[in-house]
C-alpha cells in the first residue's frame, strides 16, 4: 500500500514561503511526477514527504496516517537522490543491503533479496565493486536497487537522471517506468524536464512558485491546461499566446494556440507574418514567424517545406484547438 | 586538447623534480652526515661530503651526556597527549559546525584562526607567569596543555573542512534507509571520516613533536622533550656541530619513521580538497 495525501501542507524558510498550501491525493501504485521551473518548490515538497524537512503547517498522510512527526527512517519510503548518494566505502552489495541490515533482517534473507534486486537491475557482475569503480548509469542502478530492495510504500525520485548523458537518460527513463509498473509501487518523481514528465507519469503535478497549478494526466494537462502557466510550461515548442485586439472575443484576455495547431493558409487568411527562422528537423519543421504586433509565433509543420527566412506567410489557428484565458490567466471553459 | 608531451620535456621535468627534491632533502642529509663526522671535520672548509673519517663517537657522547630515552618518552607523551586531547575537543566542535552551522559559524572559525595570527612570543610573559603560579613549569601536564591549546584551531579547521566535504545527501540516504543517528554515525559517517581523522591526527602529532618555542621556554629537564634535548647542544661555550647533529638525528628519527609509514594519509590531509 502506498497512498499519499497532502492536506494544506505549508513550508517556509524564515520569511520565505516555499510551499503554499499544497493539497494532493496520490493513489496507490500510481506514478506521479512533480514538474516545474527551478525554484518552484518541487524538491522541497518531495523532501517534506520524505521527512527530510519538517512541515510548517498541514498534514501528510501515508495510508491514512499522519506522518508529519514521524522521522524519515520510519515512514517506509525510499529515495533516489540526484547525486546517487551511494555509500562510498561500501561495495554495491553493501549499499543495496544497508537498508535491510538496518531493518534487522537475517543474513540469508538479505543476501537473497540483494541478489534478486541486482538481477533485476543487471548489477550481478558488479556486486563486489565499490561505487567509484562504476559508471554513472551503473551507480544510478545501485541507487535504484537500494530503493527497491526494501519494498517501500513509495519511491521518491529527486531528479535521478539529470546527471546522465542524453542517450542513457532515455534508456533509464524507460527502465524506471517499466520497473515501477512491474513492482506496482507508488512513485513520486521530481524533474524539471517536461519530456520526462510527459513520458513517465500517470499524473503530473505542475508547480510554480510554491503553488500547485494543476494536477492531472499528461494529456489532460496538454489538452486542457487550467491556466496560462501550465499552458506555457507543458509542450515544446511553447504554446503561442496572443493578446490585445487580435483576440476579438469579449471577456477573453489571451488566446493560446499550440504550434502544431497553426496552419499555413492562403493569402489573406489568418495572421500575416514573416518567417524569421525555419528549423528543419527532418520530420518536422519549426517556423518562427514575426507576426508584427502579435509578437513571435511558432508553427510546427509536418514534412519538408520550402519556406525560408524572409518569406511572407499567413497563419490560421485551428478554431477547435484554441485555448481562451481570462485576465487573471485562468482558462475559460466553453 | 592534450598538450603533446615530448621525451625531452619528460626528461627535463623529471630532472628538475629530482633536483628540487634533493634540495629539500639536503639539510636533513647534511645533518645525518655531520652526525657521523668528528667535530673537526664538521667545521672543515671546504666541507667534506662523503670522504671523511666516519665515527659513531658523537652518538656515544650524546647518550652518555644526556638521557635520550627520557626525552623521547617526554616527546611521545607530550605530543601524543596534546594530540589526543585536541582531537577529543575538536571532533565534536568541527562536527557540529560542519553539519549544523549557524550564521555565526564562519565568524567563530575565523576567530579561532586569528589566535594563530599573533606571534607566540607576544604572550610568553603572561603564560610564563601563569605557569609559574600554578606550578606548571617543567611539567608534562603543562606542556600538553599549552601545545593542545596552540594546535586546537588548526585541528578544528582541518576537521571542519574535512567533514564539510562529506555530502549531506549520503547522510540523508542513510536516514531514508532507516538508520538511526547512532547507526548513521557508526556505519556511514565514521568510516567516511576515518582518512580525515587519521591525517589530522598525524599532522597534529608532528606539529606537537617539533614544537620548540613553548617547550624550550617552559621546560628545563624533568619534562623536557627532544627539542630541548637538541637545544642543549648549542651552549654558550660554543656550538658542537657534530654532537648537535647527532642529537637532532636521534630526535627526528622517530617522527621520520612515522611519517614514512603514513605518508599516504599525510599527503591526503595536506592537499585535501585541492582536487575533486
The alpha helices in chain A, defined as continuous H runs, are 42-50, 92-102, 107-120, 136-148, 166-183, 194-200, 218-223, 228-233
Name the maximum alpha-carbon separation found in chain B. Answer: 73
Please name the helix (run of DSSP H) or strand (run of DSSP E) that holds residue B148, with its range, or none: helix B140-164
The pLDDT of A102-126, averaged and rounded, is 92
**Partners of residue B170 in chain A, C-beta under 8 Å:** 85-88
Structure confidence at residue A8 (pLDDT): 93
Structure-block grid coordinates of residue A254: 489571451
Mutate to test the interface with A, among B169, B172, B176, B192 (most CBs of A within 10 A): B176
Determine, yes or no, domain membership for B203.
Answer: yes
Helix (H, G, I), strand (E, B) or coil at B186: helix
Contacts of B98 (CB under 8 A, 6+ apart): B159, B160, B163, B164, B166
Mean pLDDT over the full length of chain A: 90
Determine, yes or no, domain membership for B189.
Answer: yes
The Cα–Cα gap between A76 and A67 comes to 10
Q: What b-and-e string marks burial along B164-190, b requiring 16 or more CB atoms within 10 Å of the CB?
A: eebeebbbbbbbbbbbeeebbeebbbe
Q: How do the domains of chain A map onto residue ranges?
A: 4-227, 237-325
Which residues face A11 on adjacent strands?
A19
Structure confidence at residue B236 (pLDDT): 62
Q: pLDDT: is A1 or A126 the higher one?
A: A126
Digitized pLDDT (tens) for each residue of chain B, 276 residues in all: 456 667 888 899 999 999 999 999 999 998 998 888 888 787 777 777 777 788 888 888 888 877 888 888 999 999 999 999 999 999 888 888 988 888 898 899 999 888 888 888 888 899 999 989 998 888 889 999 999 998 999 999 988 988 888 888 888 999 999 888 888 878 888 788 888 888 888 888 988 988 888 888 888 877 888 888 888 877 666 677 888 888 888 888 888 888 888 877 666 655 554 443
Structure-block grid coordinates of residue B42: 664538521
Contact A73, B176 (CB under 8 A): yes
Chain A residue whose CA is closest to B177? A99
Structure confidence at residue B275 (pLDDT): 41
Lowest mean pLDDT among A179-193, A270-284, B261-275: B261-275
Structure confidence at residue A106 (pLDDT): 93
Q: pLDDT: is A177 or B196 the higher one?
A: A177
Q: Report DSSP letters for A193-239, one per residue.
A: -HHHHHHH-SEEEEEETTEEEEEE-HHHHHHS-SBHHHHHHSSSSPP
Q: pLDDT: is A246 or A85 the higher one?
A: A85
How many domains in chain B? Answer: 1
**Partners of residue A52 in chain B, C-beta under 8 Å:** 172, 175-176
Contacts of A63 (CB under 8 A, 6+ apart): A1, A2, A3, A153
Mutate to test the interface with A, among B168, B170, B178 (most CBs of A within 10 A): B178
Residues A98, B172: C-beta atoms closer than 8 Å: no
Mutate to test the interface with A, among B171, B177, B188 (most CBs of A within 10 A): B177
Residues B176, A52: C-beta atoms closer than 8 Å: yes
Determine, yes or no, domain membership for B97.
Answer: yes
Look up the CATH architecture of domain A237-325.
Beta Barrel (2.40)
How does pLDDT run across A3-62, given as a tens digit for each residue?
A: 999 999 999 988 889 999 999 999 999 999 999 998 899 999 999 999 999 999 999 999
Task: Report the residue from A79, A82, A102 with minimal CB separation from B179.
Answer: A102
Task: Report the residue from A78, A88, A103 with minimal CB separation from B176.
Answer: A78
Residues B179, A98: C-beta atoms closer than 8 Å: yes
Burial of B141 (0-12, 13-18, 19+ CB in 10 A): middle
**Partners of residue A89 in chain B, C-beta under 8 Å:** 191-192
Q: pLDDT: is B24 or A304 the higher one?
A: B24
Contacts of B147 (CB under 8 A, 6+ apart): B78, B79, B82, B208, B211, B214, B215
The alpha helices in A23-63, defined as continuous H runs, are 42-50
Residues B175, A89: C-beta atoms closer than 8 Å: no
Contact A32, A196 (CB under 8 A): no
ipTM: 0.83
B83: containing domain: 62-270
- What homologous superfamily is domain A4-227 in, according to CATH? P-loop containing nucleotide triphosphate hydrolases (3.40.50.300)
CATH number of the domain within which B89 lies: 1.10.3720.10
> Is the model's pTM score more than 0.90?
no
Residues B177, A73: C-beta atoms closer than 8 Å: yes
Rounded to 5 degrees, φ, ψ at A286 are: -100, 125
Determine, yes or no, domain membership for B28.
Answer: no
Amino acid at each position: 500500500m502506498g497512498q499519499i495525501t497532502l492536506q494544506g501542507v505549508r513550508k517556509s524558510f524564515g520569511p520565505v514561503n516555499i510551499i503554499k498550501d499544497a493539497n494532493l491525493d496520490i493513489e496507490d501504485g500510481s506514478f506521479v511526477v512533480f514538474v516545474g521551473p527551478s525554484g518552484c518548490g518541487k524538491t522541497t515538497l518531495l523532501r517534506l514527504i520524505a521527512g527530510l524537512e519538517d512541515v510548517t503547517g498541514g498534514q501528510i498522510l501515508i495510508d491514512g496516517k499522519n506522518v508529519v512527526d514521524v522521522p524519515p527512517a520510519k515512514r517506509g519510503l525510499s529515495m533516489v537522490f540526484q547525486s546517487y548518494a551511494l555509500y562510498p566505502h561500501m561495495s554495491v552489495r553493501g549499499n543495496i543491503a544497508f537498508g535491510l541490515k538496518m531493518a534487522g533482517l537475517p543474513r540469508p534473507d538479505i543476501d537473497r533479496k540483494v541478489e534478486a534486486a541486482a538481477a533485476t537491475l543487471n548489477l550481478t557482475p558488479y556486486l563486489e565493486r565499490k561505487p567509484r569503480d562504476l559508471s554513472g548509469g551503473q551507480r544510478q542502478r545501485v541507487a535504484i536497487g537500494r530503493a527497491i530492495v526494501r519494498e517501500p510504500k513509495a519511491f521518491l525520485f529527486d531528479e535521478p537522471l539529470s546527471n546522465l548523458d542524453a542517450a542513457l537518460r532515455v534508456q533509464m527513463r524507460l527502465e524506471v517506468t517499466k520497473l515501477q509498473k512491474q513492482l506496482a509501487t507508488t512513485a513520486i518523481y521530481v524533474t524539471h524536464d517536461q519530456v520526462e514528465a510527459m513520458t513517465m507519469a500517470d499524473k503530473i503535478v505542475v508547480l510554480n512558485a510554491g503553488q500547485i497549478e494543476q494536477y492531472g494526466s499528461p494529456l489532460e494537462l496538454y489538452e486542457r491546461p487550467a491556466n496560462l502557466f501550465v499552458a506555457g510550461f507543458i509542450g515544446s515548442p511553447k504554446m503561442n499566446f496572443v493578446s490585445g485586439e487580435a483576440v476579438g472575443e469579449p471577456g477573453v484576455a489571451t488566446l493560446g494556440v499550440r504550434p502544431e495547431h497553426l496552419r499555413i493558409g492562403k493569402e489573406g487568411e489568418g495572421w500575416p507574418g514573416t518567417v524569421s527562422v525555419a528549423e528543419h528537423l527532418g520530420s518536422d519543421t519549426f517556423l518562427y514567424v514575426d507576426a508584427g504586433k502579435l509578437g513571435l509565433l511558432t508553427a510546427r509543420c509536418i514534412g519538408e517545406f520550402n519556406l525560408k527566412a524572409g518569406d511572407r506567410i499567413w497563419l490560421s489557428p485551428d478554431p477547435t484547438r484554441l485555448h481562451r484565458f481570462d485576465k487573471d490567466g485562468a482558462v475559460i471553459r466553453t | 586538447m592534450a598538450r603533446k608531451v615530448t621525451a625531452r620535456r619528460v626528461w627535463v621535468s623529471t630532472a628538475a623534480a629530482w633536483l628540487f627534491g634533493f634540495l629539500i632533502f639536503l639539510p636533513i642529509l647534511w645533518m645525518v652526515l655531520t652526525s657521523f663526522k668528528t667535530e673537526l671535520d664538521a667545521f672543515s672548509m671546504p666541507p667534506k661530503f662523503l670522504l671523511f673519517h666516519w665515527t659513531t663517537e658523537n652518538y656515544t657522547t650524546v647518550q652518555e651526556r644526556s638521557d635520550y630515552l627520557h626525552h623521547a618518552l617526554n616527546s611521545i607523551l607530550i605530543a601524543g597527549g596534546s594530540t589526543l586531547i585536541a582531537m577529543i575537543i575538536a571532533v565534536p566542535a568541527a562536527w557540529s559546525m560542519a553539519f549544523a552551522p549557524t550564521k555565526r559559524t564562519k565568524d567563530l572559525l575565523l576567530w579561532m584562526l586569528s589566535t594563530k595570527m599573533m606571534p607566540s612570543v607576544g604572550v610568553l610573559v603572561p603564560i610564563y607567569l601563569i605557569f609559574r603560579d600554578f606550578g606548571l613549569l617543567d611539567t608534562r601536564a603543562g606542556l600538553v596543555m599549552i601545545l593542545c591549546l596552540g594546535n586546537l584551531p588548526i585541528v578544528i579547521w582541518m576537521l571542519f573542512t574535512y567533514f564539510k566535504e562529506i555530502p549531506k545527501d549520503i547522510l540523508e540516504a542513510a536516514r531514508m534507509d532507516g538508520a538511526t543517528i547512532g547507526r548513521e554515525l557508526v556505519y556511514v559517517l565514521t568510516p567516511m571520516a576515518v582518512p580525515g581523522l587519521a591525517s589530522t591526527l598525524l599532522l597534529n602529532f608532528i606539529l606537537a613533536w617539533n614544537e620548540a618555542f613553548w617547550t624550550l621556554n617552559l621546560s628545563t629537564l624533568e619534562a623536557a622533550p627532544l627539542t630541548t634535548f637538541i637545544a642543549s647542544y648549542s651552549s654558550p661555550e660554543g656550538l658542537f656541530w657534530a654532537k648537535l647533529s647527532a642529537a637532532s638525528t636521534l630526535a627526528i628519527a622517530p617522527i621520520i619513521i612515522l611519517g614514512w609509514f603514513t605518508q599516504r594519509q599525510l599527503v591526503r590531509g595536506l592537499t585535501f580538497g585541492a582536487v575533486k
